[in-house]
């Protein structure tokens, strides 16, 4: 959480709590540049999951950034994963909401993740630039096939 808060000091990084009236719905954390919005974190209030709030938040982002690719990363969907069903469910959720798989992996000290995007094709250079900007150049990640 500390690193998220520190990176949110960058002018292109946004950390938002989402409310429906007085009810807390969830959190978004994203970085943006000229062509990309990298949604690094989307969390929905446990009591509200399955009620469409995640889809509504993604739609809000797409409406706010109609000319930019929105990129997320998820844990790879592999049969050997202990949380395989959860990974499949997460992938299906994002696919229902307009994201598609790319052939790109994000590799960082925390592991390997699969990149998904709303763009026709992942603009890899813009995505890497967003990663660099949001971390003030300190984030050590690779995007590769």
Q: Mind listing the pLDDT tens digit for each residue in 108-124?
A: 777 899 999 998 899 99
Count of residues making up the chain: 145
pLDDT of res. 12? 80
CB 144 within 8 A of CB 106: no
Distance, CA of 5 to chain centre: 16
Q: Which domains does the chain have, with CATH numbers?
A: 2-144 (3.40.630.30)
Which DSSP letter does residue 34 get?
Answer: S
Contact 61, 94 (CB under 8 A): no
Q: Which of 140, 80, 66 is nearest to 110 (CA)?
A: 140
pLDDT of the residue at 46:
95
Tokens of 84: 């395989």
Tokens of 121: 């094709």
pTM of the model: 0.85
Q: Point out the residues of the chain with pLDDT beneath 50.
A: none
């Amino acid at each position: 959480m500390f690193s998220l808060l520190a990176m949110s000091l960058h002018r292109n990084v946004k950390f938002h709590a989402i409310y429906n009236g007085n009810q807390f719905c969830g959190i978004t954390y994203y970085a943006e540049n000229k062509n990309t919005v990298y949604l690094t974190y989307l969390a929905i209030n446990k009591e509200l999951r399955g009620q469409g709030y995640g889809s509504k938040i993604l739609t809000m982002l797409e409406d706010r950034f109609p000319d930019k690719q929105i990129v997320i990363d998820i844990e790879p969907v592999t049969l050997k994963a202990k949380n395989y069903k959860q990974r499949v469910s997460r992938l299906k959720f994002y696919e229902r909401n307009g994201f598609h798989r790319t052939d790109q992996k994000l590799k960082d000290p925390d592991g390997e993740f699969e990149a998904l995007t709303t763009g026709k094709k992942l603009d890899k250079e813009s995505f890497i630039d967003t990663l660099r900007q949001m971390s003030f150049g300190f984030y050590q990640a690779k995007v590769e096939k």
